[in-house]
Amino acid sequence: MSYPLKIYGSIIVCLGFLFVPIYTQEIALTNSDYHHQFPEWSPDGNWVVYYMEDSTGYSHIYKVSSTGGEEIALTIANYDDYYPRWSPDGDWIAYKKIGFGGYHQIFKVPASGGEETALTTAGYQHGYEWDSPEWSPDGNWVGFSAYNSGYWRIYKISSEGGDEIDLTIPCFPYGSLYPQWSPDGSAMTFRRALGTYHQIMTVSTDGSGDENWLTSDSHTHWYPQWSPDGNWLVYQKLDSTAFWQIYKVPAGGGEEIALTWDNYHHGSPQWSPDGNWIVYTKGDATGVPQIYKISQGGGTEIALTSEGLEHAWPQWSPDNNWLVYHKVDPSGTWQIYKVSSMSSVEDNTIIHCHDYKLSNHPNPFNPETLITFQIHQEGDIKVNIYNIKGARVACLVNEFLTEGSYCYSWSGKDCTGNLMTTGIYYCTLSVNGSRNSVHKMLLLK
């Protein structure tokens, strides 16, 4: 049947339903009655390591096959062990041990199990809050933050132990936190607390103390991560929108580029191994953080999860095909999950591009919203609406259009004239048979 629209007097034909799954299935790797958190893939992609608060009452380091199965304990001593990280060769796991000798220390353990080895023993704290020890790309060093002489600074130590080498300039009371090695190992990035705000910096790893400020504005920046080619840093920033957004900045310094800008919090960005995507969490209209990805050049945000349970700490698999993370299950317990990094919008050759400026206003809306877009060449244009399950519910445009800007109205009804329920809907724009942009909308009654 025909679907009336209030745009240029056009009548658009609705072509029925097409199932396109927007989300892929989440797969639980653990299911025991204890909290599991902060997973990381092994370099070969066959294992996932994490820490679990087990029956001893302590948190210990565990691993599980990337396909699930038996959980294998790697540490058992009566200390809390947190934030495990694989060595580049996959033979060792470094982590933070709480309270050893009265302080937090950096340890390592064979990935196959065996004796734990203390890498640090100095009488001060090693590893700030969620700081994890970070292996250098060649596996010869481990970087970490430590609280010495009244302030946090960035150190490195040989992966065999030995002297701790201070890399950052003493700058009490400013704290230097969350170090990450550059892909070539010549520098580390970190965040520094400068008064009220936290900025992104780099420091040479040769011990010269050569530091470089990459950000310096009146906003807080957290969790910097290198791009695989070492040319960019991605991070989250509490900017003028009053929300945490995803930004990137050239590793050599320059203009910050916002990749997200809507009214939701975004966090924990991670670059894909091929450098094309950035994954992160976003507290979207579901009310809890979900897993999202976005092109490294910006564009449409793609939701990879949608269940109304909290998701955190997404990490890419080495082959780029999976994401592992911890998630609250229906019982309230944190478990380790994975989800495919591929989505239907990618599988159907959708290109995410700001040029089309696909958007709607108002958003959220009830019951009507205006959908606007631009096209830069004439062609066969289709604009469809899908629900969260991937079923097409409305076809707004299916005609030949010339270059220009367009505005169409959607009344919040499906093809048969029924009002849609409260929820998330996706508007897709196709040009000459190729989907070119996807935009998320919220119908809120």
Which of 279, 275, 174 lies closest to 231 in space, CA to CA?
Answer: 275
Topology agreement, domain 2-21+352-443 and domain 27-347: no
pLDDT of res. 16: 30
Identify the top-confidence range among 22-31, 89-98, 349-358: 89-98
As a whole number, mean pLDDT of residues 49-65 equals 97
pTM of the model as a whole: 0.74
Q: Which residue has the tokens 């991670």?
A: 270
**Is the CATH number of domain 2-21+352-443 2.60.40.4070?**
yes
**Mean pLDDT rounded to a whole number for the chain:** 87
Looking at domain 27-347, which CATH architecture does it have? 6 Propeller (2.120)
pLDDT digits (tens, 9 = 90+) for 190-208: 999 877 899 999 999 999 9
d(CA 265, CA 242): 9
For residue 60, pLDDT over 80 is answered with yes
pLDDT digits (tens, 9 = 90+) for 355-407: 678 889 898 999 999 999 888 888 899 999 988 767 789 999 999 998 888 88
- Give Cα 373 to chain centroid, integer Å: 28
pLDDT of res. 24: 55
For residue 327, pLDDT over 50 is answered with yes
For residue 265, pLDDT over 50 is answered with yes
d(CA 363, CA 131): 37
Sheet strands side by side (includes 176-181): 176-181, 187-194, 197-204, 211-213
Tell me phi and psi for residue 30, to 5 degrees.
-130, 155
Sequence spans of domains, the chain:
2-21+352-443, 27-347
For residue 66, pLDDT over 70 is answered with yes
